[in-house]
């Protein structure tokens, strides 16, 4: 903290040697290349501009992305490919009230956010439970209201005190995580050190079940409710996921999304940063340029997506931020990196979004004929051995949309699965009969369908070590935080952290230069103060 206070005063410092050492604002602009315009890259640019401006450091940012839009895995599509219809989240769908960066940015950028509960008409929403948990054999839990999972009165009869104990444990765990936003932990140059400083090492190292049992939370609640949350959010069960992820999945109170798509947060961040946009552009290589009598620079070579070597452009930068997983970035770092990030397995998640006039068949999910299936059906594994599991991770009724051909309202659904959705599956859940896997389904039954296979997030297994934030001098990495917690918010936190570290380094280099001039020169006047 003392260093930050002292460094913030540097622009005000003057001395007899001031003409030799320029003020911070008189230095050439720092040139920063950011590779990736998702949450981490956009946040790096946004906070870098804030911190550099506060320190009077001139700055030029260029942010590159293969895509032509901002947001990374936060992206939307329009049903029927009609941009006049409401956007549907294809990737990162919600954030919650404890996600400080996203909540604050939504407010500061003047965006509006809402829950999804208001997106059904009164007739469609009436009698529709908010949440159901299906184990492949029966609906083990149905809730009329899914207010952050915590309608405790409705849960206590089945799970005893386990929901209350889990709520307390979740709040205690999240409180530790939130310390990463503040000094003395923030900014952190070492993620593993920060995890240790806030007291989360044992939480990340344990699996979800083990962490719950350590706090005397046993029984059905972990397998049915906590596991349903880990399966929908991270595609693996409570015995595979880390204890921290299990707790993060339960911190669902105040869930919201930005009207028009969460990508608008990151679009607003890039806009506010003043960054030059290099979108639809691939970064092919980064190399050191060493010049005699000058500081080292990083040369970044780019080309338009689909272009050839003749289209390549090389520019010089002071800093490079890799704001995308190294293993997917396809960037050649030529004798630059002092540390190469470890390749880790990512979940290959199939997302299917479709529109249909049909509601889900309640009898398929063990409900009575005539009942309405819940808006969100999450899944867990069956208690019995040797019986069929649920066959999907989740099915969500997103909203009603107007079919532009028939001019009638239909329902938009999102389905998460580990395998591609086929006609047999769709025929079963919508009550269309026993269809062959490759059968054609009439547009009268399913009017529009969109499929996407994501490398959505890492397998969030328990861990004891984490990636480096600095891969070399002036080369920064944000995606190491994904194996700790992979969310829009944590990626934004790491972008903010890298921005703060970078500006602090710049200020420190100015302080070091000034200290060198403070060394007494025998030819200088003696400026020592003499008491009267």
Residue 394 pLDDT exceeds 80: yes
Residue 502 pLDDT exceeds 90: yes
131-134 and 139-143: which strand pairing?
antiparallel
Determine, yes or no, domain membership for 248. yes
Q: Report the percentage of the chain scoring pLDDT > 90.
A: 80
| Mean residue pLDDT across the chain | 89
363 and 448 part of one domain: yes
d(CA 215, CA 172) in angstroms, rounded, equals: 12
355 and 445 part of one domain: yes
Average pLDDT, integer, range 467-494: 98
Average pLDDT, integer, range 35-49: 98
* Phi/psi-derived region of residue 474, left when phi > 0, alpha when psi is between -120 and 50, beta in every other case: left
Average pLDDT, integer, range 119-130: 76
Residue 489 pLDDT exceeds 90: yes
Average pLDDT, integer, range 515-527: 53
* CATH code of residue 284: 3.50.50.60
Determine, yes or no, domain membership for 532. no
43 and 12 part of one domain: yes
Residue 308 pLDDT exceeds 70: yes
Strand arrangement, sheet containing 313-317: 313-317, 297-304, 281-289, 332-334
Determine, yes or no, domain membership for 183. yes
Nearest CA among 112, 113, 94, 110 for reference residue 272: 110
Residue 124 pLDDT exceeds 90: no
Average pLDDT, integer, range 59-69: 97
Distances in Å between the Cα of 247 and the Cα atoms of 26, 176, 384 are 48, 12, 26
244 and 275 part of one domain: no
Average pLDDT, integer, range 290-314: 85
Nearest CA among 484, 482, 492 for reference residue 177: 484
Q: Report the percentage of the chain scoring pLDDT > 70.
A: 87
Determine, yes or no, domain membership for 80. no
Q: Is the pTM of this model over 0.85?
A: yes
pLDDT at 524: 52
400 and 438 part of one domain: yes
Q: How confident is the model at residue 123 (pLDDT cuts 50, 70, 90)?
A: low
DSSP, res 356:
E
pLDDT at 384: 84
d(CA 123, CA 257) in angstroms, rounded, equals: 23
pLDDT at 474: 97
pLDDT at 117: 58
Residue 213 pLDDT exceeds 60: yes
215 and 350 part of one domain: no
Determine, yes or no, domain membership for 520. no
Q: What is the pLDDT of residues 408-450, one digit of tens each?
A: 999 999 999 999 999 999 999 999 999 999 999 999 999 999 9
Residue 258 pLDDT exceeds 80: yes
Average pLDDT, integer, range 202-227: 97
pLDDT at 25: 62
- In the three-class reduction of DSSP (H, G, I as helix; E, B as strand; rest coil), residue 355 is classed as strand
Question: In 10 A of CB 441, how many CB atoms?
Answer: 17
277 and 325 part of one domain: yes
* CATH code of residue 422: 3.90.660
Average pLDDT, integer, range 269-286: 98
Determine, yes or no, domain membership for 79. no
Q: How confident is the model at residue 252 (pLDDT cuts 50, 70, 90)?
A: confident
pLDDT at 376: 95
330 and 225 part of one domain: no
367 and 448 part of one domain: yes
Domain count, the chain: 3
d(CA 357, CA 443) in angstroms, rounded, equals: 10
pLDDT at 527: 43
Q: Residue 170: which residues within 8 A CB-CB, separation 6 or more?
A: 247, 250, 251
Residue 402 pLDDT exceeds 70: yes
423 and 387 part of one domain: yes
Give one DSSP letter per residue of 70-127, joined into a string: S-TT--EE-GGG-TTSPPEESS---B-TT-HHHHHHHHHTT--EE-STTSS-HHHHTT
Decide which of 12 and 247 is more confident. Answer: 247
Q: How confident is the model at residue 292 (pLDDT cuts 50, 70, 90)?
A: low
Determine, yes or no, domain membership for 303. yes
Given 253, 277, 302, the domain boundary residue is 253
Q: What is the pLDDT of residues 338-347, one digit of tens each?
A: 999 999 999 9
Average pLDDT, integer, range 52-79: 96
Q: Residue 382: which residues within 8 A CB-CB, separation 6 or more?
A: 135, 136, 137, 388, 389
pLDDT at 295: 64
Residue 311 pLDDT exceeds 50: yes
Given 222, 253, 284, the domain boundary residue is 253
Q: What is the pLDDT of residues 1-33, one digit of tens each?
A: 333 333 333 333 333 333 344 456 677 899 999
- The domain in which residue 506 lies consists of 2-73+260-342+467-514
392 and 473 part of one domain: no
Determine, yes or no, domain membership for 31. yes
215 and 290 part of one domain: no
């Amino acid at each position: 903290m003392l260093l930050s206070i002292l460094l913030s005063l540097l622009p005000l410092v003057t001395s007899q040697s001031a003409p030799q050492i320029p003020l911070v604002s008189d230095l050439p602009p720092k040139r920063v290349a950011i590779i990736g315009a998702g949450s981490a890259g956009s946040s790096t640019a946004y906070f870098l501009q804030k911190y550099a401006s506060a320190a009077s450091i001139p700055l030029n940012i260029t942010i590159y992305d293969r895509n032509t839009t901002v947001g990374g895995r936060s992206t939307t599509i329009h049903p029927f490919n009609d941009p006049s219809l409401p956007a549907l989240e294809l990737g990162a769908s919600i954030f919650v009230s404890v996600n400080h960066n996203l909540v604050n940015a939504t407010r500061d950028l003047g965006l509006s956010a809402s829950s999804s509960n208001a997106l059904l008409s009164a007739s469609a929403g009436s009698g529709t439970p908010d949440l159901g948990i299906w184990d492949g054999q029966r609906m083990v839990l149905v809730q009329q209201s899914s207010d952050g999972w915590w309608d405790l009165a409705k849960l206590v009869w089945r799970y005893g005190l386990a929901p209350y104990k889990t709520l307390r444990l979740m709040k205690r765990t999240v409180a530790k995580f939130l310390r990463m936003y503040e000094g003395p932990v923030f900014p952190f140059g070492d993620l593993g050190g920060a995890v240790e400083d806030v007291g989360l090492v044992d939480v990340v190292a344990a699996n979800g079940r083990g962490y719950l049992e350590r706090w005397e939370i046993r029984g059905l609640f972990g397998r049915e409710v906590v596991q349903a949350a880990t399966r929908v959010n991270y595609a693996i069960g409570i015995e595979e996921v880390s204890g921290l992820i299990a707790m993060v999945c339960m911190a669902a109170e105040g869930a919201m999304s930005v009207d028009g798509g969460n990508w608008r947060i990151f679009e607003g961040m890039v806009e506010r940063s003043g960054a030059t946009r290099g979108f639809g552009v691939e970064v092919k290589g980064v190399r050191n340029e060493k010049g005699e009598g000058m500081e080292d620079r990083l040369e970044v070579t780019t080309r338009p997506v689909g272009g050839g070597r003749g289209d390549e452009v090389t520019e010089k930068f002071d800093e490079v931020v890799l704001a995308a997983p190294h293993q997917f970035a396809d960037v050649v770092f030529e004798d630059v990196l002092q540390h190469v990030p470890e390749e880790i397995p990512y979940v290959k998640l199939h997302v299917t979004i479709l529109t249909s006039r049909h509601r889900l068949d309640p009898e398929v999910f063990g409900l009575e004929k005539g009942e309405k299936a819940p808006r969100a059906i999450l899944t867990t594994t069956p208690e019995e051995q040797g019986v069929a599991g649920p066959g999907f991770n989740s099915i969500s009724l997103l909203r009603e949309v107007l079919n532009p051909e028939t001019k009638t309202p239909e329902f938009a659904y999102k389905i998460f699965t580990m395998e591609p959705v086929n006609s047999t599956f769709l025929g079963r859940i919508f009550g269309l009969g026993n269809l062959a896997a490759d059968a054609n389904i009439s547009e009268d039954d399913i009017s529009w369908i969109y499929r996407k296979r994501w490398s959505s997030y890492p397998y969030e297994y328990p861990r004891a070590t984490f990636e480096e934030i600095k891969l070399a001098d002036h080369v920064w990495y944000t995606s190491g935080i994904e194996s700790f917690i992979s969310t829009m918010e944590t990626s934004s936190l790491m972008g903010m952290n890298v921005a703060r570290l970078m500006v602090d380094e710049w200020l420190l280099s100015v302080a070091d230069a000034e200290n060198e001039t403070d060394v007494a020169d025998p030819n200088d006047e003696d400026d020592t103060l003499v008491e009267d």
